[in-house]
Chains A and B, each alone.
Chain A
Amino acid sequence: MLSAQQVEEIHRASLKILSETGVKVDNSRAVEIFSDAGATIEKHKEKVVVKIPAKLVEDCIKKTPGKVTYQGRLEKCDYTPAGVNVSFTTFGECNYIIDLHNHKVRPSIKKDCRESALICDAIDSIKVVERPLNPSDCPPATQTLHNAESIFTNTAKHAFIGAGNVHSLNKMNEIAKICLGGKEINNRKIFTATVCPVSPLGLGKDCCDIIIEAALLDIGLLIFSMPLAGATAPVTLAGALVLQNAEILSGLVLAQLTKQGTPCTYGSAATIMDLTHVDVSLGALEMALLSAAAARLAQYYELPSLICGGISDSKVPDAQAGYEFSYSALLCAQAGGSIISGLGVLEKGITFDYAKLMMDVEMSNFLTRVIEGMKISPENLALEIIDEVGQEGEYLTHTHTFDHMREQSTVNIFNRLKRPDWQEEGEKYLFEKAYKEAENLISNHRPDLLSKSQLEDISELISQYELELGINRDEELK
């Protein structure tokens, strides 16, 4: 991917953008924070541009924790990315889902949010949950809260959620506290707040509000930028990469200036605007390249990263979806992204599909093994055993085989059957098995549940908030 020298070059270019071009900041409180720390503030007609000196940026990078533990509701669910560790998760939030039963696409509802959280809980290799779906049957103003409820109550794993605005963030935090059984007892942080800078070079009002408030509440942030090369960023990938880097750093600076030590996850959703189709492409090879490069930058800054990988532009869980997942997820994994986000996602990021989820999970397990490579050690070289068996024996019954056979790769839904056996089992295509497997997990998995009173408290909190907002749920448009 990028050489050490190229990484340096991108870094220096980003500092130049931040100090000379500056970032548009649409939030007076944030402007004040930047200003107090020594940034230059330029007021134009309707916009305020903040120019951040290189030294300030570099100081803030140093203050950002390198080691982050994404805490679950239960300690056993904690995830701390380290070294070559990669993990995979979903991508959010999709507006549509391919119905598990009739395989037709439809808008997602709260039930889908619950079930997708449940299945993420069931799958061991998913370490953190990025909210996969949007509850379109809930009032728009509180959809993010209904989503948080669906996730927190169906999995004890750490969640990444966008709050939308600071009020929802505070409510979300209250919901998290209920899940933990009251703030005094437990100070775990079970979610990370996702914020998006707006390319090119903009920090919006809500984005700043959330960064500031999350930092004050000790909630970690995912600073998730999405420049589109050719539309909101230079069409050349290096230009898009450096723009994204500057945007992420500007968010990080605001977080550290608000409260030093706020965990920040480096988030990359950079890709292209396909100028022929006039739409984004998330299966594009450019997204894979940009994500992998972003992973390198995050490593340079010693930050954990969440990068997009494995999303497909296909509408169905077909060969295109499989190819697009495999090559890009592999590249991202090789580049060492801490969390690779894209499991189960089709149609350029707007449709979630259980078959793709199960297929992707199987593939991601392969990838995790592939990047570990093979270990060369005396035990593994097995010279003594080779000598012992010589030219005539076999290894099937050797103790060395017994000792190591569980290390072999195996399949869950991929097919390694002989053709006659495959025919006997009904000549199933992969996606059919994948849907079946998802159905099984959803009906049989039992997560660590919250108590009845906790569930009631959460639902009461949301209803109360809706009342305050003047939302009458029965009157809502579907």
Chain B
Amino acid sequence: MYETELISQTVIDGDAERVIQLTEKALEKGFLAEDILENALMIGMNAVADKFKHRKVMIPEVLMSTRAMHAGMITLTPHLQKTRKLKKTKVLIGTVAGDLHDIGKNLLKMILESIGVEVIDLGIDVSLKEFIQSVRKEKPQYLMMSSLLTTTMPVMLEVIEELIKCDMKRGLKVVVGGGPVSEVFANEIGADLYFNDPFEVRKYFIEKYCTG
């Protein structure tokens, strides 16, 4: 009991080094990896996410905690059954052609990495061709596109159309977001998922791959 509490507190404090040490120690003591994940790491991270939601902490603190959480996850990975699926989840992410806004996208990337998702970042100003080629090469389960400009939003539609045309859309979930992108727009262009907040994306992944 004490061990798990200490680990979650250390995640809250954002001390990655110490989380690794404590996690190793807990494993040595015979704690189950699943137990450490759910009752220590997750609890700590959820507490931070909750505080963040209520504006009690600032984003750099959250990112330090996500880093600590990520470190703990890596330590646990060889011992975990449940998160295998999450580990194998690959996300391709990029800001669409003509658009240089990437703050929101980068945030999303860091938060996904913290829960062990592999994220391949294509950067900014990513063309239709680059998206298609990278999907072909990397075979991700998720393609995430960000757009902050009304002038660049249509690129998302073009990418989806091209994916369908090339018969690459099956088994691939397209997720869109960014300032002017709305749920309605996401539906119109045939995207599979829309989130306006990276923490919602995190919740979605955890619920889908880590629980039950």
Contacts and interface: CB of A to CB of B under 8 A. Distances in A.
B132 to A, nearest CB: 19
Contacts of B153: 140
B30 interface: no
Q: What bracket does the count of chain B residues touching chain A fall in?
A: 20 to 34
Interface in A196-225: 198, 204-206
10 A-B pairs with the lowest CB-CB distances in the bound complex, closest first: A275-B58, A140-B151, A278-B59, A275-B59, A276-B55, A140-B154, A276-B58, A198-B100, A143-B151, A136-B150
Given A95-B150, A141-B151, A206-B98, 20 more contacts: A95-B180, A134-B150, A140-B151, A140-B152, A140-B153, A143-B150, A164-B151, A198-B100, A204-B125, A205-B125, A228-B103, A273-B103, A275-B58, A276-B55, A276-B57, A276-B58, A277-B55, A278-B59, A477-B157, A477-B188
Interface in B46-66: 55, 57-60
A144 B179 contact: no
A466 B138 CA distance: 35
Nearest to B153: A140
Interface of B: 55, 57-60, 98, 100, 103, 107, 125, 150-154, 157, 179-180, 188-189
A454 interface: no
Contacts of B180: 95
A18 interface: no
Interface of A: 95, 134, 136, 140-141, 143-144, 164-165, 198, 204-206, 228, 230-232, 273, 275-278, 350, 477
**Residue from the set B57, B179, B180, B188 with the largest chain A CB neighbour count within 10 Å:** B180
A275 B57 CA distance: 9
A278 B107 contact: yes
Contacts of B58: 275-276
B96 to A, nearest CB: 11
A144 B151 contact: yes
Contact of B60 (A95, A205, A275, A350): A275
Contacts of A164: 98, 151
Nearest to B155: A140
A109 to B, nearest CB: 11
A26 to B, nearest CB: 9
A335 B34 CA distance: 60
A273 B102 CA distance: 13
B121 to A, nearest CB: 13
A297 to B, nearest CB: 24
Contacts of A273: 103
B107 to A, nearest CB: 7
Contacts of B179: 95, 350
A205 B180 CA distance: 23
Nearest to A136: B150
B93 to A, nearest CB: 17
